[in-house]
Amino acid sequence: MKIIMLGAPGAGKGTQAKMIADKYAVPHVSTGDIFRANIKEGTELGKEAKTYMDKGLLVPDELTVKILLDRVAKEDCANGYVLDGFPRTIPQAEVLDKALTELGDKIDYAINVDVPDENIVKRMGGRRACLACGATYHIEHIPPKTEGICDRCGKELILRDDDKPETVMNRLQVYHDQTQPLIDFYNAKGVLKEVDGTVDMKDVFNAIVAILG
């Protein structure tokens, strides 16, 4: 069962990817984690990726796919995997699709966690973080006992720049320009499934399980 998670930033796809991985006993494969692991282990692919990252450049799609294929070729991916954070663009999807086809393989499901922009702005705008101990809260869903104060260490909670409405709107614009076309790409391949991401995360998960069986 090879799954790609799609959805806007803040839609909750990362949380769902972890839950799917746990239930079906397959790895949750995040490109960020793979890059860090390869660089830490000093692999040839990691060294090559680092040369781009050190210059502040994006790692080319072909190299990213090579690193990804190296990861999913490992024994723990024999029964499948959940891809989170890749592909982000049509060229990346095409490179991945071509590489998998050459291996006689393919993606089984592309699951889009669908959440309207206004919900995401509200959801992310409600996040609060403690810079002192790293605890996170949400003013509606996981509020601190005392408004603006961390339960764990008593320090002040802040709204991070990443979660401010103007930043979120910019990230959503990039998503709509670059990543949303993937929905059409995977729909054309007959593997796209959509779930309502505005409901409780357990209900989102149950909808995904109903699709995967």
Other beta carbons within 10 Å of 74: 11
Q: Report which of 116, 54, 108 is spatially closest to residue 80, judged by C-alpha positions.
A: 108
Cα(102)–Cα(122) distance, integer angstroms: 43
Other beta carbons within 10 Å of 198: 16
Catalytic residue among 13, 66, 123, 128: 13
Catalytic residue among 66, 71, 127, 128: 127
Catalytic residue among 88, 122, 164, 193: 88
**Token pair belonging to 59:** 């790692």
Counting every residue, how long is the chain?
Answer: 213
Instruction: Answer yes or no: 160 catalytic.
Output: yes
Catalytic residue among 18, 122, 164, 171: 171
Instruction: Answer yes or no: 71 catalytic.
Output: no
Instruction: Answer yes or no: 171 catalytic.
Output: yes
**Token pair belonging to 156:** 């002040």
Instruction: Answer yes or no: 127 catalytic.
Output: yes
Q: Report which of 149, 115, 145, 103 is spatially closest to residue 130, judged by C-alpha positions.
A: 149
Cα(210)–Cα(213) distance, integer angstroms: 5
Catalytic residue among 36, 74, 98, 160: 160
**Do the beta carbons of residue 174 and residue 130 sit within 8 Å?**
no
Sheet bearing 2-6, strands edge to edge: 28-30, 81-84, 2-6, 109-114, 192-196
- Just list the catalytic residues: 13, 88, 127, 160, 171
